[in-house]
A = this chain, B = another copy of it.
Amino acid sequence: MDLSIQQLAQLSGTTSRTLRHYGDIGLLAPSRIASNGYRHYDQGALMRLQRILLLRELGLGLPAIASVLAHETSPAAALRTHVTLLRAEQARLVRLIASVEKTIAAQEKGEEIMAENMFDGFDHTQHKEEVEQRWGKDAYARSDAWWRGMDAASQQAWKERLATLNGDWKAAASSGVATDSQVSSELARRHVAWLDSIPGTPASTP
């Protein structure tokens, strides 16, 4: 098994440039360099490349990959750290998508989004420092992004839905409704339906 750089590239689904790059930075050396300067790779190099590509898909940087492969000691810690970052990034993407979709929807309704919605944002910004000090940065950032992604009408609608739900729920509780399933399950349905309107909530969990 003696592969040229192109052959290895095609086999592993990457490019020759990448392979030379890995060679340059000492991540994956060719197993042999012919007299004409051509790089050649053997089975061992291929396996190492597989691991490299796997770790790369897992999001590790090339230095990190080199480190892991160098001293094969617990990649677990690195991975654990990394999964945290991935989750954060993933959450951010979810918010981004919801926000973009909301923007598109508003656009399609012919609304001129930008105008006063900006001032909403502005108010929010000034509010921001206070909130951050009282509730912590993370909490603010997370909650703000979703809320801010909505236009005024949607925010109003959200508030109303929450108010209605809470109202019905209280009413049901205080009136001691017909003990069980009919009314309460109806409430539960609406409860779940409302949750579904929150970005990221899975529709099909139970």
Contact = CB atoms under 8 A, between A and B. Distances in A.
Contacts of A57: 96, 99, 121, 145
Interface residues of A, dominant DSSP = helix
Copies in the complex: 2
A61 interface: no
Interface string A58-87: 110000000000000011100110110011
B199 A142 contact: yes
B200 A146 contact: yes
A188 B172 CA distance: 13
16 contacts: A54-B121, A59-B100, A74-B107, A76-B104, A76-B108, A83-B97, A83-B101, A86-B100, A87-B97, A90-B90, A143-B203, A159-B205, A166-B191, A173-B179, A175-B176, A195-B195
